[in-house]
Structures are given as structure tokens and as C-alpha cells.
Structure 1
Amino acid sequence: MGVTGKWRAVQQVAPQRGQVLCGLAMAMIGSQGLAATPGVASSDKLTDEEKKKAEQDRPNPHHEHIEVVGLWHEMSPKFTASLLDTPKSVSIISRQLLTQTASNTLADALRNVPGITMGAGEGGNPVGDRPFLRGFDAQSSTFVDGLRDVGAQSRETFNVESIEVVKGDTGSIAGRGGAGGAILINTKMPTLKNAIDANLGFGNADYKRGTFDGNWRITDTGAFRLNLMGDDQGVAGRGPTHYRRFGVAPSVSFGLGTPNRVTVMYYHMQNDDLPDVGIPYNNPTFNARTDGAQRVMATGSGAPVKVPFDTWYGLENRDANQDGIDMGTLRLEHDFSSTLHLRNTTRYSETTQNDRWTMPDDSQGNIYYGYVYRRLNSRISTFDTATNQTDFYGSFDLAGFKNQFATGAEFTREQGKNDTYTATVNGQAVTSGTNFTHCATALAFSSGTCTSLLNPDPGQLWTGDLKHTGNPNSTRFDTKAVYLFDTITLLKQLQANVGVRYDNVQSTYRSAAGEYGRGDNLFTYQGALVYKPRSNGSIYASYATSAIPPGNSVGQGSDDISLGADRSGNIGSVLKPERDRTIEVGTKWNVLHNRLLVSGALFQIDATNFKITTATGGIDNGGTKRVRGFEIGLNGQITREWAINAGYSYLDARLIKAGGAGAANGLMDGRHAPNTPANSLALWTTYRIIKPVTLGAGVYYMSKVYGTDSPTAPKFVPGYWRFDFMATYKFMKHYSLQLNMQNLANMRYFTQAYTTHYAMQAPGRTALVNLNVHF
């Protein structure tokens, strides 16, 4: 969508490590500092003369705001070409777009990129971000400031400057994983400009939120920045669901504008939530009752059951999510010259979860009799990451060819420990026998363990007990990696883009059943040719690979190596890594005097070696999957007053060989892959009707999404349309009021389709009013 600034044309300067777009320049307003801009390298990559000129040309922060084309902001050095010449599909969610759409979480933000769905987490847990890109799990391909961030969490955006979504195999860029792409989150950094931005918001569903972003110049080359967030809100139409969050993110930099820079950052966020729960599907396995109860529902199509909008199956006195993250980062940077740079980043982070929530379990067919089993899902976990990454990058000429290169090394240790709660009623575990799971006794209802399908009582007192199960498991993942990228200008109109990466990964799983380990050597690569028929356009063809070893999510997602109980031994230690490849052709053009970026891509992704169940009930690497599709994008300014961020994605994702035990073997072959909509559309547009007033509108569409496309027992959520509205009024130079109306039509739609049991329902109509202050 772009960033906010005063629109001005400037003379184009030489591109640095790919941080240019299309021949416009602007300076970020307020606390955002000097940005990498179209046609201008970011401030820390400019020569001294260029920095002085950019500072002189910087617009007055009190001048009018308009929107210009989106850009790479403090992007990873691994991208060695401009966005225009990068041979991948890339979507950029700017700070401007986050603010305009009132996207306070990562899940909210990713709604603006078509082709992305959010899946349920480990064990069907709806808590924690699990995005699917082009039909592939990207939980382990999420990065913060260039470093992998696997820990399960629901990410906030109060400290986010921009989000870059890179689609297609990104193994050479991101390391393990990355079949569908990677999500790169860039946090707010200190700048040499004093500024304060504050926000206070109120809305329906008891919405209250405040943020503060302050940046102070403390020396000639040093600055301190502080971001704060407090959030207390319900969810429109979703019963007693409530979220309470607090975040703080201080950072300090020294040496800004000099060849040697040091930045120290700390991030803390914690939440205490009463989480939303799902709606069961209408076609569970049928189990005939013998207690004389009458069946009240026929077998359905596989969609969620039709119940009132605010139906909520949880238990207020049992359900809670109490999660937190602490992250400390040290970044050291040195410029050997205007064309050679070194960056070293060290980080330690800890993510904790203490979650108890109700799954409306349909596995026993209780809904056919008008009942729901309130199954307890829980997670008690600690996840630690220690990583150090060094990047050496820049440009040089060799044998008459210009090279923009990046090389580096990564050393990371990730380790997690997971336990659960055990629920008992009158000393009896509710998961044992059928009294509770089948809702077959009066005690199942009087204790609150079972409830009515059509009229559940969230306030019912659950009379059971919770205690730690005391049987934790742990997973450790050690990574050593080296990588090299280069964009070679072969001719004025022809570039070659290449990248290679080698990872040595060692993983260990421990539980009461024993210890299982494995090691993998992963080699991934990418190669592309980029043809530039004109300076404002590119046409590319690329080939890229990725590799996903067992245990990739380090116990934080659905992929692990805890397969030691199989009668053939520790299957997890002998399985091969999944191997994927993407073939993509595409084009990108800057049009309307470089104000608007138009892009399109046609691609095919083939996944092989993924785990499937064999006909005899074992596990092997026989799975294959194919995704074919295309997407188009439109981003920037149509006129000075009219801005647009739009995209459409078509995906045909099929399980070519999906396995299955016994009679189910081959049943899913050729069926739709889960978490992959065939059609999706995202459109956000704003128009400044008069100087102080801007109106915005959003249109979002997603077609049917399967949890499973089983021909005998499908689970899916229907397609939907969503419409949003925004109006902003600026007054008294430093203030603005913003109204957001989300889901204007109050449509009932679903955001997650779990493989079994339930789907997650989206909020109803939501109205938010925010007062923004900028100095």
C-alpha cells in the first residue's frame, strides 16, 4: 500500500542491495525516520553526501500526507535486487496500511494479502499464529528482523513497521521450511528525529486500546525509541470472549548516520485472555445411543452447524490463555565502504503458554442428539531461542559484470518443553470411558463437561479439577547454516538471480517413552533470469527449492519427531525431509509515472516426501502434493488523492498421493488440499475527498476452505465476502480522528477450518473510533 510522505520526484541514485523500487523518493513522516524509498537507498546505505542531500530534501512533517508506492523497509540483506527486479511474488503491508485498516494483530494484517489462510495450531489449538501461504504451513517460516521466530504466539503489530510476505519456495532464503513462502516482520527502529505518536481507541464489544510511540534523539548519532500498548476488548457477537494484552518495546541506537552502528532492542508482550471457541461441524461420526435418547439432527454436508451467531461452548471459569514473550536483540553494523557492509545480529527470546480452552468435540456424534462434549485442550509450554546471524553484503564489479551479493552464516538453538493439564470430575479423568465423552450420564451435564448444542451456558460452573499432567516432552533443534546470494547484471536488460544455502540441523525429542534424535543436511537453492524490456518493468522465470525435516516446528506446531511408539521403532529418526520446488514466471511494472506497481505471477509448487499413513498403518515418505495457481497485484497511487492495495489469488491445490490406512488408502488422492481457498481477493482503497478528510473501503473474499476434502466425511467452511469502511478527519495540525467499521454487513463467516471437530467463527460487525496524536 505504501507509506506516508510528501510526494516529490528526485533524481535516481544507484540502487543499494535491492532497496529501490521505481524512481520516486519520500521521507517517512514522524517517528518513522528516513525510509528506503523508490529510487533512493535507505539512509544507512547512502554516502555522506547523499545523506546530507536527503536530509535537506526531507519534507516538513507538518505538510500534507499522501501515499506512495510500497517499498522494502529495512529488508533482509538476502534480497539482492530491487522489489521490481526480485523474481518472486512479494506483498508489502506498510505501517500506513496497518493503521488505516486497524490491523492490531498479525492475523488482521495478513487479511490484506490474498491466498493466505490461518490454520489451527498444534493439537487443534486456535491460539497462536499458523498462517498458510499457497496452501503450505508457514508457522516455522515467520521471521522478525531477519531471524526465525517459531514460538507459538498471537503476534501484535504495535511495534511493527512493515510486514513482507514472500511467496513460493524460500528454502535458500529462510532455511528449513518455506514451501509456500515466508513472512518477514520488521520492527520499529530508532531514528535521529524527535517525534511522538499516540493513539487512544474505543469501540463496541467493550473495545479499549491505547498505544504510544516515542522517538528521541539523545546524542548527535544516538536515539532512543519506546513503544507501548494496552488492549482490553471483547469480540463482537462472540459471547464472553475477551482479550487483555500489554506490550512494551524499548530500543536504542548509537552511531546512526556513521559507518559503525549499534542497536539494542527488547520486546515484551503478555496476555490474559478468555479465548474464543469453535463451532462443531455438522457431520461427525455417528454413534448410536443405547440410553433411549432421540436423534434430533440429520447428517450434514460438512459445514459448521447452524446455531445462533453468539453461540459459545466454552466455560468461563475453566478457559483461559495466559501467554507471554520476551525478546532481546543486539545488532552490530559496519560499513567498510558505500558498497560493502557487515551486520551481526544476536537474539535470545522466551515464549511461554499456559492455555486452557474448550474444544466443541464432535468426534462421538453427540451433536446428532443435541449435545456437545466440552473437551479440554491445554498447553503448558516454554520455548527458548538463542541465535546469531552474520550478513556480509554489498556490490562489486567482476569481469565487467555488476554483482549485488549477500553471504552469511547462522547458528541457532531452539528448544521447547510442553506439558498439559488433566481434567477430572469426582476423581475420574473425563477422557476415560464414555460417560463424559459420549455425554451419557447426568454427571456429564451437571459438572458442565457436556452442554446443549443449541443453548449452551458459558457461565455454568464447571465442578471438575485441573492439575498438571506431569508428563512433559521436549524438543531441541540446532541449526548451523551458510548461504550466498547474488544478482548479476549480465546485460543492461538481463539479470541473473541466484542463491544457495546449506543447513546442518540436529533435532532431539524427549519424553517419558524415551529419547529420539536425528540429523539432516539440507541443500536448497534458487535461480532466476530477469528480463527488463524497459527500466520500469521486469519479466522473470524462476526455480526454487525448500526442505522440511521432521521436527521442523520444534514442538510448537503440527510437525514433530515424536514417533517412537510405532512398532517398527523410532520412525521419526529415519524419515526423509520433505522436498519442495516452485516454478514461477511473472512480471512487475511501475506505471502512472512510477506511482503504481502492477504485478502478476503464474506458478506450480510440487511437494514430495511428506509423511503419510500407509495401507498397513505405518508411516513413510510417500506423500506428494501439487499447487498450481496465479495471482495479480496492484499497489500504490492512482492519483494524488486515490490510493489502492489490491490482489487476487487462484490456487488449485491437490493431494496427488495422500496414503491412508486400510480401506482409506488412496481415498484422498486427487482431492483438495486443506487450508487452501481456490479463489481469494483483498482490496483496500482510500480517497482524500478534501484536505482533512480521507475515506477508505475494504472488500475481502475467500471461497470454500476445506479442513479435509474427504469424500466420506468432508469438513469445510463456506466462502464469504467481507466489507470494511474507514473515515479519517485531521484537525489542529497534530490530531486526527479515525472511524473503522469492520464486517459492515455483519456476515457470519469462519477464519479457521480445523481438520476435525470444529471451525473458528469471525467477529460480527465492529465499530472503532481512534484519536491519533502526532508531534
Structure 2
Amino acid sequence: MTKPISGVRAYARRAWTPAAVAGLAGLALAPQAHAEDAPHEVAGVQVEGHLAAEPVSPKFTADLLDTPRSVTVIPQLVIDQTAATSLQDILRTSPGITFGAGEGGQPLADRPFIRGQASGNNVFVDGVRDSGGQVRDIFNLEQVEVVKGPDSAYNGRGSGGGSINLTSKQPKLVEESSASLRVGTDSYVRAAVDANYVLGETSAVRVNLMGAQGDTPQRNAVDFDTWGAAVAAAMGLGTDSRLTLSYQHLTRNDMPDYGVPLSRKLPGVTPTETGILDVPRDAFYGLTARDFQETTADIATLVGEHDINAAMTFRGVFRYAKTVNDYVVTNPGDGGSAQFVDGQWWMKRGLKSRWNPATTVAAVADVYGRFTTGAIEHSYDIGLELSREKNENASYTVTTTAGSACPTGFTGAGAGDCTLVYAPNPSDPWVGTIVRGPVSSTVSKTAAVYVFDTLSFGDRWKLNLGLRHDEYSVSGRNVSATAVTASDGDWSFTNYQAGLVYKPSPNGSLYVSYGTASTPPTISGGDQNTSAGVGSGNLANKILDPEETTSTEIGVKWAFFGERLSTSAALFQVNRQNAQILVDVGVYAQAGETEVRGLELAVTGQVTPAWSVFGGYTYMESELVRGAYNNVNVGDPLANTPEHSFSLFSTYQLTPALSLGGGAYYVSDSFGGNQNGAGGGANGVYAPEYWRFDAFASYRINERLNLQLNIQNLTDEDYIARTNGVHHADYGPARQAMLTLNAKF
């Protein structure tokens, strides 16, 4: 492969040696911490109730118990005990969230679906939108907050399904440090350091380091290596004026995995009921000599807070962030029809590629607090958001000069392009060049104002209100090999939410709420802003209006056992309208519509001081209400929207030293199909239902050390984790055992 110079790109694997990763963990030995000053907690031993977490954003003007919508907060304790390392790992614990597979305009990156809507563009870090397709690591997270249902009043433009906020670890006035070293099957090793240094009466610095590498269980040749570092310095802690400066870096190298092809993409091959090719779990169609994925992320944040008086606090956030998603990946379902030659099925490898830097500059200002007017108490937040996001996008031209040739008799044979359908070899030889093509770019700008208020009418009634107005614009420069075109568009939209809460007792609430969301056409892909969002056919010269999503929710929240255990139940209906569809021959209109109705149950906390639980159940009845006039999929379930999903992670402390537990996860059939849910589709392809079980054990050696054992996919369930319904499907990882040594200093 040629060396990359001025757009020419080559790839070389990098790996962490076990000694290097172990050395990273050893850095935690340096701080001379005072353990007696820190709250004592090791995995499996809870001295403090860390399951009862609250969102940190001032936009939440009431406690979760009195917030009239479904919000899940996944605390650090659950992150640690489940041995989660990725966004997909941790969101498994929140039912009703699935992940879609990358393809074409969709990136090979985190693509969560919430309540039937693609939400990859609705991921935030500390309340600021985290743009660009990425594969995220959670080494620097305190907790994960998931808002379900349309929430444009909170966050502006969005998919309508909900949003995910990642809350970073912050400095604190407690001198403590910790380290962990995890080893496991499939060459897995991960080391992490979390050290907090108190520099004075009001200042502190927190440092987090992480390094890891491993293979994906039972996915032939699929491996990864990653490292991350984060530092945050704060001054004025515990005073009226506080300032925090933080920086986080992540580098991740993966052998990208596009799973296995769909049988319908390979005419002549025996079709299957699911539409997914019937091959072993370890069948990998990529080329280790060619394929790569590199993800980098750099996030710098400055946060200032000042308590103006007892009723008012100012908070300002400035963020600069840059991410790069860079890959060449074999798409096994995109190379054309399979061919039967000399008694064996052969196929050409398809190819997808992307070079996608995303740069965000954002400023957010809030004024929040409490005051009373007569008999009404107000908890309020008034805010302003300004942001500029630049997305660059290019693909690679991949030229094969030598490699594994197709067999004689294969139509359209090309060196290095062929592999056996039922016995692919990722070690096939390949020599060639990878050259980046022309770079297109898009700049989007947002200016928004918002206000939230929770009005309390005595002890029984609360009215929760939220309103946001956005001025959103996109200007694009699309570059091809033959032409450069410019396009732009702008939108104004206002969204709101309203919820009424009745409290029959201090530890319970009944509520009804309504909310809206707006999805400009430039973000329907879920990963980045694209061009101006013009329509097709008769709408080719018209800027499309945003898609509109509305949600009605009725629910109950109740805390038991001295508010040690929180529970909730909600009925919801989400309607999405205004998607572009074909309403007649050659005639387009914004008339597409989808609907999702459902029930969500959730439980968080401790049933007894020794028994903790976290999880829930979601039922979703989804439907493509109106698609293209000749669309046979009208009435079908939406893509990546299983009817039933269940998760429960639970631990029990048998003795002061020993805790046992595990997780149970169920997902019913999940169909593929058109990702915007309004027209087109391939619901003949689906990921079959599955159960997955995980095991957990923790043993406290002494006050500073404990051992933790996790076995993921305990029964070695062979399951499909996701499919895009068009080209390929992705297997979930096989069984993997991991042993972690946790230390506090």
C-alpha cells in the first residue's frame, strides 16, 4: 500500500502491548491520596446510593420524580459493574433503544434509535451537541442521561425520538485516585486511571487515562485498540464563582465489521426466512490488508458559573470540538450477484469509505434559579445557544493492483475482489492504493433562545413548561470530480413541551405531557448536516420544511423504601409527519407519516440495602402510516423498532466482601427497512428475537482492592445485533470473560 501523501491514504495497525497497558494502570500509584477523605466505594460494595442519579442540566427544572416525561439516568456504578466501554454497551441497559447498522449515507459509527427514530445526531457531551459520526468510549463519563420522546424544546433540531447526554467526570474537593486493570478472553486488556488532586481550598484537578485492545469474540480478524486521556481543572469550588477548563482526547483503531450479507443481495444463493445469509458467526468478509477505521475526538470545554444571588445563577459554556471518522470497509452485500463456479459460490467484495472531520464551536449561556410569585413557586432556566458546525466529507478511490483473483469463469472478475460466499478469507492478499477524493463541506449555524419553568401550586400540583425557538441555516459546497456546486437553506422553528404533575404523596407523581420536535431535512441521515435539503422531482427547487414530531405521554413515578427505589410507568404515542414521499407518478409531497405507541416500565435503586436493580421493559407498536402511493410496506413496523425489549441488571451483596449478580436482555424481532421510516423499506429482512445473559461477581480483598468478574453473553447466544435491511447484518459478540482488579488510593 502506498504511503499517504496529500490525500493518499495508507493504513497500519497499531497495538498496545500488555506491558504498556499495565504500565498505564501503574500511573495511579503516583498520587499520595488520603483514602480517609474520600467516600469509600468499590464495585459490589455500596456505601452511598449512587443509583439515584439526577440530570445535571439546568434545563431540568424539577427532580426526576416530578419531571413529566421518561428520562433514564445511567449512573457510574452501573457503567462500572456491567464492564461497559462503549455507548452501545451502556445503552443496552435502557430498553427501547436499539442501534442501526451503517450503510451508504449512514456512517459506520454509533447510530442509536430511540422510540423508532434515528438519533445519531442527538448525542450530547455535557449538554452540547457532539457532532459527527463517531465510535465513542465512556472512560471519562460520570453518567449517561437519556431523554425519550420529542425533545426539541430541550435541544433544538432533532430526530424526534429523544436524546442522549454524556456527563463527563469533573474535579471535586476530595483527594482520591483509583485504577483498574482488566484482562479477558479474546486477547482483551484494558487499563484505566481516575485521579483527583486537591490543589487548595477551592481548586482541584482530575485526570483520566485509558488504554485498551482486544478482539471481537467469534468475529474472525475483527480487533481494536484505543487510548484516551482527559484532564479537567477547576477553581472556586464551593464558592459563588466557579470556573472549570477540561480537555478530552480519544483515538480508536478498528478493523471495521460490516457483518454478513443478506441472502436477497446474492441471487442464486438459497434464501433464508430472515433474509440474512446463513453463515457461521465467525464469517468475516473484510480484508485485513486493506480495511481500516480510525476515530479521533478532541473536546475542549470552558464552563463558568456565578451565583448572582439566592434566586439566580449564571452558567456559561464554551466548547471547541473536532472529530474525525475515517474508514475503508468491505460491504459484503454490495458487490453484485454471487456466482456458482466450479461447484462453489463466489462473490465480489463491495466497498464503502468515508473521511469525515466535524468541527464544532458552541457557546451556551443559562440563567437559572428559583423565586416565588404569590403562592406559586417557580424553578426556571432561561438560555441562549449559538453554534457553528462544519462537516467535511470525502470518499476514497481504492485501486487494486494485485490480490486474490476471482476464479476463471467468474463474470467481471478483478484481482483481489473475490471471496468464497460460505468460507470468506480475511487474509486474502491485497496490494493497491487508497486515495482520498474531492472534499465537500457543509457549515451549519444555530442561534436559539429557550425558557423552562416548573410552577408549583402548593404541595400537590406542578406545571412544567418549556419553549425554544431556533434559527438554523446550512450552506454546502459539494465537490465532485467534474464540478463544484453550492447550496444553502435556512429554517425557523419553535418547539414546546407542557406537562402537568399531580403528587398524591411526596414520594409519588402522576403526570400527562405533550412535546414537539423539528427535524430539518439536512440531518435526516442522523450523522451529519448535508446540503440544502431540497426535494426531489417536482420539489427539486424547493427547500423542504422540517419534519414534525409530536408526543403525548401519561405516566406515574413512585419511590419506595425511603426513596431508595425509584419506579416509573408511562404510556406514549409518537407521531412523525411531513416526510417527503411519492404520492403519485412523478409527484412528490411532504406527506409521509409514522406512528409509535407504547408502554415503558423502569426501575432503579435498591430493593434492600444489599439488593440493587436497574432496568425496565418497553413495548412499541410501530407503523408506517403513510408512505409512497405504491409502497407495499405501508402498515409495516418501522426499522430498528422491536415490539418488545427488556433489560435488567441486578446485584446482591451476599456478604460484606462478596456480591453476585448479572444482566438479562431480551429484544424481539427487529425489522430492517428505510431508515427515515417514511417510504421504501425492506421489512422482509429482520433480526430474529434473542435473549442475552451476563454474569457478575465482585470480591472485596481489603479496603482498597477488589476483584470483579464479568462474563458477557454467558450462554454464548448466536444472535444478530442489528441490520440495515438493505445490504448486511451484524452479529453480536460471542461469550467473553473479563477479570478486573480495581484499586483505590
Q: Structure 2 length normalisation: TM-score?
A: 0.89
- The residue correspondences of 1:465-484 to structure 2 (distance < 5 A) are 465-469=433-437, 471-484=438-451
What do residues 324-348 of structure 1 show as CA deviations (whole Å, max 9, x unaligned)?
0111000000011233111000000
Change (3 A) 1:450 1:602: same
User: What is residue 15 of structure 2 aligned with on the other side?
Assistant: none
Q: Is residue 389 from structure 1 mapped to residue 361 from structure 2 by the alignment?
A: no
The counterpart of 2:302, out of the listed 319, 330, 339, is 330
The counterpart of 1:583, out of the listed 538, 547, 552, is 552
Query: Aligned partners of 1:426, 1:178: CA distance in 2, in Å?
Result: 43
Amino acid at match of 2:395: T
Q: Is residue 349 from structure 1 mapped to residue 321 from structure 2 by the alignment?
A: yes
Change (3 A) 1:235 1:124: farther
Identity of matched residues, %: 35
Amino acid at match of 2:632: L
Change (3 A) 1:126 1:518: closer
Q: Is residue 654 from structure 1 mapped to residue 623 from structure 2 by the alignment?
A: yes
SS in 1 for 2:504: coil
The counterpart of 1:411, out of the listed 386, 393, 400, is 386
The counterpart of 1:764, out of the listed 726, 734, 740, is 734
Structure 1 residue 552: Cα displacement = 2.5
Query: Aligned partners of 1:196, 1:173: CA distance in 2, in Å?
Result: 35
Query: Aligned partners of 2:102, 2:465: CA distance in 1, in Å?
Result: 34
Structure 1 residue 610: Cα displacement = 1.5
Structure 1 residue 301: Cα displacement = 2.5
The counterpart of 1:361, out of the listed 333, 341, 346, is 333
Structure 1 residue 515: Cα displacement = 1.1
Amino acid at match of 1:393: Y
- The residue correspondences of 1:568-647 to structure 2 (distance < 5 A) are 570-571=540-541, 574-617=543-586, 619-647=588-616
Amino acid at match of 2:363: N
Query: Aligned partners of 1:587, 1:57: CA distance in 2, in Å?
Result: 39
For the 8 Å contact 1:282–1:301, the answer to whether it is kept is no
Bigger CA drift: 298-307 or 513-522? 298-307
User: What is residue 536 of structure 1 aligned with on the other side?
Assistant: 507
SS in 1 for 2:88: helix
Query: Aligned partners of 2:587, 2:436: CA distance in 1, in Å?
Result: 31
User: What is residue 163 of structure 1 aligned with on the other side?
Assistant: 144
Structure 1 residue 724: Cα displacement = 0.3
Query: Aligned partners of 1:530, 1:551: CA distance in 2, in Å?
Result: 36
User: What is residue 264 of structure 1 aligned with on the other side?
Assistant: 245
Q: Is residue 525 from structure 1 mapped to residue 492 from structure 2 by the alignment?
A: no
For the 8 Å contact 2:182–2:738, the answer to whether it is kept is yes
Bigger CA drift: 504-513 or 559-568? 559-568
The counterpart of 2:642, out of the listed 665, 668, 677, is 677
What do residues 350-390 of structure 1 show as CA deviations (whole Å, max 9, x unaligned)?
11122111111157332787233311111112110000000
SS in 1 for 2:332: strand
User: What is residue 16 of structure 1 aligned with on the other side?
Assistant: none
For the 8 Å contact 1:363–1:757, the answer to whether it is kept is no
Change (3 A) 1:489 1:556: closer
Query: Aligned partners of 2:478, 2:539: CA distance in 1, in Å?
Result: 15
Structure 1 residue 472: Cα displacement = 2.1
Q: Is residue 83 from structure 1 mapped to residue 39 from structure 2 by the alignment?
A: no
SS in 2 for 1:475: strand
For the 8 Å contact 1:659–1:668, the answer to whether it is kept is no
Query: Aligned partners of 1:348, 1:712: CA distance in 2, in Å?
Result: 40
Which one scores higher on RCO, CA 8 angstroms, separation ≥ 6?
Answer: 2
Structure 1 residue 300: Cα displacement = 2.6
Structure 1 residue 653: Cα displacement = 1.0
- The residue correspondences of 1:111-130 to structure 2 (distance < 5 A) are 111-121=92-102, 123=104, 127-130=108-111
Change (3 A) 1:614 1:460: farther
Structure 1 residue 533: Cα displacement = 0.6
User: What is residue 14 of structure 2 aligned with on the other side?
Assistant: none
Query: Aligned partners of 1:423, 1:403: CA distance in 2, in Å?
Result: 60
Structure 1 residue 646: Cα displacement = 2.1
For the 8 Å contact 1:366–1:439, the answer to whether it is kept is no
Q: Is residue 751 from structure 1 mapped to residue 734 from structure 2 by the alignment?
A: no
User: What is residue 15 of structure 1 aligned with on the other side?
Assistant: none
- The residue correspondences of 1:453-464 to structure 2 (distance < 5 A) are 453-464=421-432
User: What is residue 81 of structure 2 aligned with on the other side?
Assistant: 100
Change (3 A) 1:235 1:407: same
Amino acid at match of 2:371: F
SS in 1 for 2:722: strand
User: What is residue 461 of structure 2 aligned with on the other side?
Assistant: 494
Structure 1 residue 733: Cα displacement = 1.2
- The residue correspondences of 1:499-510 to structure 2 (distance < 5 A) are 499-510=466-477
What do residues 287-329 of structure 1 show as CA deviations (whole Å, max 9, x unaligned)?
xxxxxxxx4x333334321212211100000011112011100
User: What is residue 45 of structure 1 aligned with on the other side?
Assistant: none
Large movers: runs of 4+ above 4 Å = 56-64, 435-439, 562-571, 709-713
What do residues 729-753 of structure 1 show as CA deviations (whole Å, max 9, x unaligned)?
1112100111100001111112221
Amino acid at match of 1:244: D
User: What is residue 110 of structure 1 aligned with on the other side?
Assistant: 91
Amino acid at match of 2:306: H
For the 8 Å contact 2:183–2:190, the answer to whether it is kept is yes
The counterpart of 2:660, out of the listed 688, 692, 695, is 695
For the 8 Å contact 2:392–2:442, the answer to whether it is kept is yes
Q: Give unpaired runs (5+ residues) of structure 1.
A: 1-29, 31-55, 287-294
Query: Aligned partners of 1:130, 1:240: CA distance in 2, in Å?
Result: 23
User: What is residue 517 of structure 2 aligned with on the other side?
Assistant: 546
Bigger CA drift: 229-238 or 330-339? 330-339
Query: Aligned partners of 2:406, 2:590: CA distance in 1, in Å?
Result: 37
Query: Aligned partners of 2:304, 2:418: CA distance in 1, in Å?
Result: 56
Structure 1 residue 67: Cα displacement = 6.0
Change (3 A) 1:185 1:438: farther
Structure 1 residue 614: Cα displacement = 4.6
SS in 2 for 1:79: coil
Query: Aligned partners of 1:673, 1:557: CA distance in 2, in Å?
Result: 19
Bigger CA drift: 575-584 or 143-152? 143-152
Query: Aligned partners of 1:651, 1:233: CA distance in 2, in Å?
Result: 35
What do residues 677-699 of structure 1 show as CA deviations (whole Å, max 9, x unaligned)?
10000010000111111111110
For the 8 Å contact 2:682–2:726, the answer to whether it is kept is no
For the 8 Å contact 1:575–1:620, the answer to whether it is kept is no
User: What is residue 278 of structure 2 aligned with on the other side?
Assistant: 306
What do residues 597-632 of structure 1 show as CA deviations (whole Å, max 9, x unaligned)?
110000100100123345435654221000000110
Query: Aligned partners of 2:681, 2:234: CA distance in 1, in Å?
Result: 58
Q: Give unpaired runs (5+ residues) of structure 2.
A: 1-27, 29-35, 675-679
Structure 1 residue 72: Cα displacement = 3.9
SS in 2 for 1:336: strand
For the 8 Å contact 1:67–1:643, the answer to whether it is kept is no
For the 8 Å contact 2:50–2:76, the answer to whether it is kept is no
Structure 1 residue 58: Cα displacement = 8.7
What do residues 531-563 of structure 1 show as CA deviations (whole Å, max 9, x unaligned)?
00111100000010000112126x872774366
For the 8 Å contact 1:167–1:181, the answer to whether it is kept is yes
Query: Aligned partners of 2:106, 2:368: CA distance in 1, in Å?
Result: 40
SS in 1 for 2:78: helix
Amino acid at match of 2:458: L
Alpha-carbon RMSD across the aligned residues, in angstroms, is 2.7
Bigger CA drift: 188-197 or 277-286? 277-286
The counterpart of 1:251, out of the listed 209, 232, 241, is 232
Amino acid at match of 1:666: N
Query: Aligned partners of 1:507, 1:95: CA distance in 2, in Å?
Result: 37
- The residue correspondences of 1:124-139 to structure 2 (distance < 5 A) are 127-139=108-120
Equivalent pairs, count: 699
For the 8 Å contact 1:321–1:355, the answer to whether it is kept is yes
Structure 1 residue 425: Cα displacement = 3.5
SS in 2 for 1:638: strand
For the 8 Å contact 2:246–2:302, the answer to whether it is kept is yes
